[in-house]
Structure 1
Amino acid sequence: MSRGAASVWRFDAIGTRWEIESATALTERQRERVRAVVDRFDAEWSRFRDDSVVRRLGARGGSAPAPADAADMLAVYRELSAATGGAVNPLVGGSLEAAGYDAALTLRPGAPVPAPADWERMLECTASVLTLRAPATIDVGALGKGRLVDLVAAVLHDVPGRLVVDASGDLAVRGGGIRVGLEHPYHPSRAIGVVEVADAALCASATNRRSWGAGLHHVLDARTGAPVRTWVATWALAADAMHADAAATALFFDGGPRLADRWGVHWVRMSTDGRAERSHGFPGELFTLTGPGR
């Protein structure tokens, strides 16, 4: 939805709806740059495309030219994994497939399958080569959409005035600010609070999104392969969308708040019983009762 912008470009990519709001209409050349970076990212990281790098590696293991984002994203994954005791893991794709969230979207769950705990040995990246030592399914959902939001914003460096890149709630704002409602996960027409996002990024995650079956959703504990149960929604405000997205994922687990605080990320999370917690100094307003601020 437009927030008073002079121009809004809407399109679908990586399985979600995007909106780019700008003070002036994007030129065709600028739109082509966006399409190119999205297509490149999808061709490398999508586990839903037969021709992607991660699907080819997943089928047999081996090596491939390293995507430009690989080293940066895996470095953040190492921090996520350490902070959450292994609950966040880029080889969780096999766990998602076992839960029914596979490339064919069968949504027919089987028994939970833990992700390989030794993922740092199995998955290695140099400046030029990405290596997977055994067949496994890479899934970068813990931070990939945020990374792509950052990349899209970067290729629009020449757009004057305020720019908002919004990938269905994971967004980055440059050249101004916007007021964003924090959508109630149980009542989508309501908000549990609001926050001003100015020259920053806000990412959200909720277990009511991409859910199926009885209590099944896309936020899994990689150690068990089972869906998380304690927290239902998270929000993270950071300088860039990749770290905001990563923090929003980490906040579903013990250790997530400490990592977000160490990164300088402000956050809110809501439990399945309706309690809300927020970071100390969170620059927004909550409408619900909150737990102690950190």
Structure 2
Amino acid sequence: MHRVEHVMGFPVSLRIDDEHVPEGLADAVFAWLRDVDERFSPFKADSEVSRLDRGEIGLGEVSADLAEVLDLCEEYRLASGGAFDARLPGRGLDPCAVVKGWSVQRAAELLTGAGVRRFCLNAGGDVVVGGGPWRVGVRHPEHADQVCTVLELTDGAVATSALYERGEHIVDGRTGRPASGLLSVTVVAPTLTEADTAATAAFAMGAEGVAWVAGREGCEVYAVDVGRRVRRTAGLPVA
């Protein structure tokens, strides 16, 4: 089974290679992602995030899901020394850097909870897989038609933060300026929650972010700095 929809501003592709796919499962996966977009997008005026940011609801009134997301935002803010921050000065609350990986990981858990064994869920290039091996290409940060390396995963996730899709959209919360020092950073981790958020935090930290994310339990990293030097951990699952 293979299905693609545009959700949260990017294409989401779901592939299930099991012989029997539970009826309605793909519908449930994409319904969950659309629901997350409605509730947590800072670009939708009636979302829970926007209402919290305007003070219409308090922290004690938010849903359990949003409370979990905000806790993750604070965890990574502290862990990165403030480089990763969902509340940048002069901007509204924006937890998108956590929401994407967290929500897609939850979607993957819907699959495994329904008994699916072999699947690949790709959300705008950030991928969570089960029942591999699966081969995942890491895009070259400067040449869209080339890959830097190919990874092989059985169960786990891989996410990349870079300049090539949205320009200087990642800000170093310590300075309020666009992050510098890296062209791209790819993180392999047990969950997409960790891989995606850690990749964003590492990119925000700049060159020092490579060692930071490499030191996190369960994380492997492949990074290209502004000098075009490749930095990678020994345990990176290269195909």
Please state which band the TM-score falls in when normalised by the shorter chain: 0.7 to 0.9
- Tell me if 1:258 matches 2:212: yes
CA distance in 1, matches of 2:4, 2:23: 14
Instruction: Decide which of 83, 95, 101 is 1:140's aligned counterpart.
Output: 95
Contact 2:13–2:121 (CA under 8 A) maintained in structure 1: yes
CA distance in 1, matches of 2:23, 2:43: 28
Aligned to 1:14: 8
- Tell me if 1:180 matches 2:131: no
Q: How does 1:90-169 map to 2 (within 5 A)?
A: 90-92=86-88, 114=89, 137-157=92-112, 158-169=114-125
Deviation at 1:150, TM superposition (A): 0.7
- Tell me if 1:56 matches 2:7: no
Report which of the two has the higher share of helix.
2
Residue 47 of structure 2 aligns with an amino acid whose one-letter code is S
CA distance in 2, matches of 1:9, 1:68: 29
- Structure 1 residues 82 and 255: alpha-carbon distance in aligned structure 2, compared to 1, 3 A threshold: farther
CA distance in 2, matches of 1:160, 1:229: 40
Contact 2:213–2:221 (CA under 8 A) maintained in structure 1: no
Identity of aligned residues (%): 30
- Structure 2 residue runs of 5 or longer lacking an equivalent are none
- 3-state SS of paired residue (1:73): helix
- Structure 1 residues 9 and 80: alpha-carbon distance in aligned structure 2, compared to 1, 3 A threshold: same
Residue 140 of structure 1 aligns with an amino acid whose one-letter code is P
Deviation at 1:70, TM superposition (A): 3.0
Aligned to 1:67: 63
Aligned residue-pair number:
233
- 3-state SS of paired residue (2:216): helix
Instruction: Decide which of 2, 24, 45 is 2:40's aligned counterpart.
Output: 45
Deviation at 1:143, TM superposition (A): 2.2
Q: TM-score, normalized by length of structure 1?
A: 0.72
Map Cα deviations across residues 9-45 of structure 1 (whole Å, 9 max, x no partner): 0001000001000114755521331133113211221
Aligned-residue Cα RMSD (Å) equals 2.1
Map Cα deviations across residues 40-83 of structure 1 (whole Å, 9 max, x no partner): 21122101112101112222354164233334333333332223
- 3-state SS of paired residue (2:96): coil
Aligned to 1:99: none
Q: TM-score, normalized by length of structure 2?
A: 0.88
Residue 122 of structure 2 aligns with an amino acid whose one-letter code is D
- Structure 1 residues 229 and 262: alpha-carbon distance in aligned structure 2, compared to 1, 3 A threshold: closer
Contact 2:48–2:62 (CA under 8 A) maintained in structure 1: no
Instruction: Decide which of 210, 224, 229 is 2:180's aligned counterpart.
Output: 229
- Structure 1 residue runs of 5 or longer lacking an equivalent are 1-6, 93-113, 116-135, 212-216, 286-294
Q: How does 1:213-252 map to 2 (within 5 A)?
A: 217-252=168-203
Residue 73 of structure 2 aligns with an amino acid whose one-letter code is Y
CA distance in 1, matches of 2:64, 2:33: 13
